[in-house]
Amino acid sequence: MFTGIIEGLGTITKIRSSGQGKRLTIEADYPLDHAKIGDSIAVSGAFPTAVLIEGKSFEGDLSPENLSKKKFG
């Protein structure tokens, strides 16, 4: 169960293959000052692990398990 606090909204700007999973690029509507590499950030019910954070955008990896539960084209 998700028990975090929703801090803002974002837009998925890119989806690409990454091993057996996917890597998402997300542009948030606020600075990601408190996020750090390795954090799981909620995105449409999935939780990509942040691997790159720059300003208001981040890249996050989704595992095959995440992908089996959610649809990301």
What confidence tens digit (pLDDT) does each residue in 14-46 have? 999 988 999 999 999 989 998 999 998 888 778
Smallest CA-to-CA distance from 8 within 26, 22, 23 is with 26
Q: Which residue has the tokens 């975090």?
A: 4
User: In this structure, are residues 51 and 11 in contact, taking their beta carbons and an 8 Å threshold?
Assistant: no
- CATH node for 10-67: 2.40.30.20
pTM listed for this prediction: 0.81
**Lookup: tokens for 25:** 């690029």
What pLDDT sits at residue 42? 84
